[in-house]
């Protein structure tokens, strides 16, 4: 039953995900523009600007944009994907959906699963802005309020039945999402306050995780790797089609897929090694290494891994080791190292002024 509910959710996601990502990109752009307008306003009116950590600013912007992606998808699956007037009705009978037919139980499970990300995002936003996940009743209140709003819209315009069970299941789903992040926050708090001895292991596991990611993708046979990257490229082209006025024909979309496919593959290489550089730098920084002793070993390590990865691909069916891929890996790791180096220098100067 869980598999069937997930398949129905994912089928809707596949149809509308490019529009959801379009909304996410718009929200990310709005966050960036809003921040610069805030700084401009402060400069024009000589207001004191509160310092915001750049990495924290990036994380908050990404978090809000992903919340926008999820929010649009929630609206689509509950309202926009349905025809107005197709479903009308009102039910306040408790546990009617849970004790009904197999299809009704599947729908009830879908309502529960849909709101788990809502609770996750609410808790993450609280964590990002206030350092805590917020009180549990706040997540319950938000989940309940949004669920009631959706049910009222469905009832008013005939997009669905107003059911008390849906509200309860949606609220419980958001609460479960909150509990998941609260559990992670508790682990994080214990880790930073009481687990100095295992920090080395956790930081090392982050590097190992990225290495598994790199060599895991390299283990895919040539045809499997090409299919995966082509599917990703097709989704990107659909998002681009939303931005461009008019509608691209299938032929135009196919041309864009062929053009962007190799670019996306190389950007994937760069992203993998940017992550490797970031986790390696964090590991070395926590070992109290600074300056050249921090950045040079991380850079050399990324190059060694890149060469080893290309050699490994020589033994994978359908894959070949390519020298210029090492160049893209080098470029990705170098960009990340230069970015962190610039941030490191700015932070150092700011600390010296204080």
Q: What is the pLDDT of residues 74-117, one digit of tens each?
A: 888 888 877 766 666 666 676 666 666 676 777 788 888 889 99
Q: Is residue 267 pLDDT above 90, yes or no?
A: no
| Residue corresponding to tokens 């010296």 | 352
Nearest to 349 by CA among 51, 61, 128, 133: 51
Question: What residue segments make up the domains of the chain, in order of their start?
Answer: 2-194, 197-353
pLDDT tens across 187-219, in order? 888 877 776 777 788 888 889 999 998 888 888
The token pair that represents 186 in the structure block:
């508790």
pLDDT tens across 160-193, in order? 777 888 888 899 999 999 999 998 888 888 877 7
Residue pair 201/228 in contact (Cβ under 8 Å)? The answer is no
When mean pLDDT is compared across 12-16, 62-66, 241-245, 261-265, the lowest value belongs to 241-245
Q: Which residues pair with 162 in a beta bridge?
A: 90
Burial group, residue 331, by CB count within 10 angstroms (0-12, 13-18, 19+): middle
Distance CA 24, CA 67 (A): 8
Q: What percentage of the chain carries pLDDT values higher than 70?
A: 83
pLDDT tens across 32-79, in order? 888 777 777 776 666 666 666 667 777 888 888 889 889 888 888 888
Q: Is residue 120 pLDDT above 80, yes or no?
A: yes
Residue pair 126/119 in contact (Cβ under 8 Å)? The answer is no
Distance CA 345, CA 342 (A): 5
Residue pair 281/287 in contact (Cβ under 8 Å)? The answer is no
Residue pair 97/144 in contact (Cβ under 8 Å)? The answer is no
Residue pair 20/69 in contact (Cβ under 8 Å)? The answer is yes
Q: Is residue 14 pLDDT above 80, yes or no?
A: no
pLDDT tens across 139-157, in order? 788 889 999 888 888 887 7
Highest mean pLDDT among 23-32, 98-107, 331-340: 331-340
Q: Is residue 354 pLDDT above 60, yes or no?
A: no
Distance CA 316, CA 321 (A): 10
Q: pTM for the full model?
A: 0.74
Q: What percentage of the chain carries pLDDT values higher than 90?
A: 14
What confidence tier does 16 reach under pLDDT thresholds 50, 70, 90? confident
Distance CA 224, CA 298 (A): 31
Distance CA 149, CA 323 (A): 56
Q: Is residue 301 pLDDT above 90, yes or no?
A: yes
Average pLDDT of the chain is 80
What confidence score (pLDDT) does residue 36 get?
Answer: 77
Q: What are phi and psi of 350, to 5 degrees?
A: -65, -40
Average pLDDT over residues 247-257: 74
- C-alpha distance across the termini of the chain, in Å: 59
């Amino acid at each position: 039953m869980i598999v069937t509910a997930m398949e129905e959710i994912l089928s809707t996601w596949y149809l509308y995900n490019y529009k959801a990502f379009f909304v996410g990109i718009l929200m990310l752009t709005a966050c960036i523009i809003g921040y610069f307008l805030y700084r401009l306003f402060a400069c024009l009116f000589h207001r004191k600007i509160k310092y915001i950590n750049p990495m924290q600013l990036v994380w908050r912007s990404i978090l809000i944009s992903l919340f926008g992606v999820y929010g649009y998808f929630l609206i689509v699956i509950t309202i926009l994907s349905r025809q107005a007037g197709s479903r009308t009705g009102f039910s306040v009978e408790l546990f009617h959906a849970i004790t009904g037919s197999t299809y009704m139980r599947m729908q009830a499970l879908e309502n529960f699963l849909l709101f788990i990300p809502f609770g996750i995002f609410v808790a993450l936003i609280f964590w990002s802005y206030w350092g805590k996940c917020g009180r549990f009743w706040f997540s319950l209140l938000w989940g309940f309020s949004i669920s009631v709003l959706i049910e009222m819209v469905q009832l008013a315009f005939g997009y669905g039945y107003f059911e008390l069970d849906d509200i309860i299941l949606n609220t419980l789903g958001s609460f479960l999402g909150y509990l998941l992040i609260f559990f992670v926050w508790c682990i994080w708090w214990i880790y930073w306050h009481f687990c100095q001895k295992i920090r080395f292991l956790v930081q090392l596991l982050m590097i190992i995780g990225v290495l598994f990611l790199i060599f895991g993708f390299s283990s895919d046979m040539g045809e499997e790797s090409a299919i995966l990257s082509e599917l990703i490229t097709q989704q990107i082209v659909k998002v681009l089609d939303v931005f461009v006025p008019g509608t691209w024909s299938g032929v135009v979309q196919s041309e864009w897929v062929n053009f962007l496919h190799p670019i996306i593959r190389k950007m994937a290489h760069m992203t993998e090694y940017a992550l490797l550089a970031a986790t390696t730098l964090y590991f070395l920084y926590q070992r109290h290494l600074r300056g050249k002793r921090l950045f040079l070993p991380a850079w050399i390590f990324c190059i060694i891994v890149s060469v080893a990865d290309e050699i490994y691909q020589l033994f994978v069916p359908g894959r070949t080791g390519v020298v210029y891929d090492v160049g893209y890996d080098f470029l990705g790791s170098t960009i990340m190292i230069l970015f962190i180096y610039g941030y490191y220098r700015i932070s150092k100067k700011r600390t010296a002024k204080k």
